[in-house]
Amino acid sequence: MLAYRNFLLRFDAAFLLIASTGGMMVDIAGSFLARGPEALLLNGVPGAAIGFIDAHGLAFILGVMLWRAGSSLHVVGAAVHLLLGTANLLFWQFFILTGTLAAGYMTAGLHGFFVLAHLAAFNAVRWEVAARSSALNPANSFSGSNPTNPDKEPSMTGAKFHASRAFGIAIALTVALTDLTGLPPAFSFVGSAQARIGRPLTPVSVAGVTRRTTRRVIRRTAVTVAALPTGCALTYVNGTPVWRCGSAFYQPYRRGYVVVVID
């Protein structure tokens, strides 16, 4: 069991270190260099990237912590991935707008896997401790957790408590982030996406929209304007918002808009 626990913690640490490093590189490229999938959201407003860089930086630090294997860190790992996975699901529109649905599916799935794996490992540790206690004190039951009731098996109360507390913290932090930063409510993103594609937002429907638009290419030109002409309408290309003004297309760029060509 010790080998499995060490492998789980090291595997989780490697995932956090690699994913957070890649995430920070994308954040910096989008906010300061106008490159990558986040450029549309962060270009010209580098201050908006503070939350992105903070989250990925903290994930990197937690990856370093998990690399130093310890049984108590299973609860920490479960709480971390519960928070990250919950944020991914609540703000799923981010992956749609940036065209990174594949990364969204992969990271959300791995977050869920690590939550379950860490809770299972944590419970297994409790069973091992109970077994050792029983071996040292045969008068107690195998569980060693309740000497007055030898037939009672160790419960999952501790693990359930930690899981429920971590889930509550994840929801509270997400709601606080929404309120303090003035972001639109998380579920309004889902509603707007459903209205755009004309049906409920599901992995299948989103994948269908992505497949139908993957051949379209958005190319920026050197022409910029301070304000949009009148009569413009917001549309989406590959899940990316684009302003259509007659036969011309625009995207937000720094403090104005840039003319784009759609092939």
Lowest mean pLDDT among 41-50, 79-88, 158-167, 187-196: 187-196
pLDDT digits (tens, 9 = 90+) for 194-223: 444 455 555 555 455 444 444 466 788 888
pLDDT for 51 equals: 78
Lowest mean pLDDT among 46-55, 106-115, 165-174: 165-174
Does 91 or 221 have the greater pLDDT score? 221
* Sign of the C-alpha dihedral computed for residues 197, 199, 200 and 202 taken in this order: negative
Q: Does position 181 have pLDDT exceeding 50, yes or no? A: no
| Interval 81-101 mean pLDDT | 80
pLDDT for 18 equals: 92
pLDDT band at 130 (very low <50, low <70, confident <90, very high): low
pLDDT for 121 equals: 82
pLDDT band at 112 (very low <50, low <70, confident <90, very high): confident
Q: In what order do the strands lie in the sheet with 218-225?
A: 218-225, 256-262, 248-253, 240-245, 233-237
In DSSP notation, 152-203 reads PPPPSHHHHHHHHHHHHHHHHHHHHHHHHHTPPPHHHHHHHHHHHHTS---H
Lowest mean pLDDT among 7-11, 34-38, 137-141, 193-197: 193-197
